[in-house]
């Protein structure tokens, strides 16, 4: 299976290619999971924040993949997507 890559743009500051997604790394990772056909859902922490039940902003990019055997690691530079079952 071929690797799934995100869109890249050239940084105006450094001139190096950088990942581009309106949702940042988590948005790009979710797009990659969709392209790979992996069913995912937000974690309980993300749902609590989005529904206003918590004021703690989820910092680490994470998704819940119930019942999936998906084992790949999705990362960009030093950031890696955490997978919860």
- Give the C-alpha separation, 37 to 7, whole Å: 18
Looking at residue 15, what DSSP letter applies?
-
pTM of structure = 0.80
- Locate the DSSP E strands across the chain: 8-10, 17-19, 62-64, 75-76, 79-80, 82-84
- Model confidence at 5, pLDDT cuts 50, 70, 90, reads low
Query: Average pLDDT over the chain, rounded to whole?
Result: 90
Measured between alpha carbons, how far is residue 59 from residues 1, 37, 51 in Å?
31, 25, 16
At 28-75, the pLDDT tens digits run 999 999 999 999 999 999 999 999 999 999 999 999 999 989 999 999
Amino acid 1: pLDDT: 45
Contact 24, 15 (CB under 8 A): no
């Amino acid at each position: 299976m071929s690797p799934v890559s995100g869109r890249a743009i050239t940084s105006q500051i450094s001139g190096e290619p950088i990942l581009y997604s309106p949702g940042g790394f988590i948005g790009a990772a979710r797009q990659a999971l969709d392209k790979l056909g992996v069913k995912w859902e937000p974690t309980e922490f993300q749902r609590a924040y989005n529904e206003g039940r918590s004021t703690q902003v989820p910092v680490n990019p994470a998704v819940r993949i119930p019942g999936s055997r998906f084992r790949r690691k999705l990362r960009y530079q030093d950031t890696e997507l955490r997978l919860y079952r």
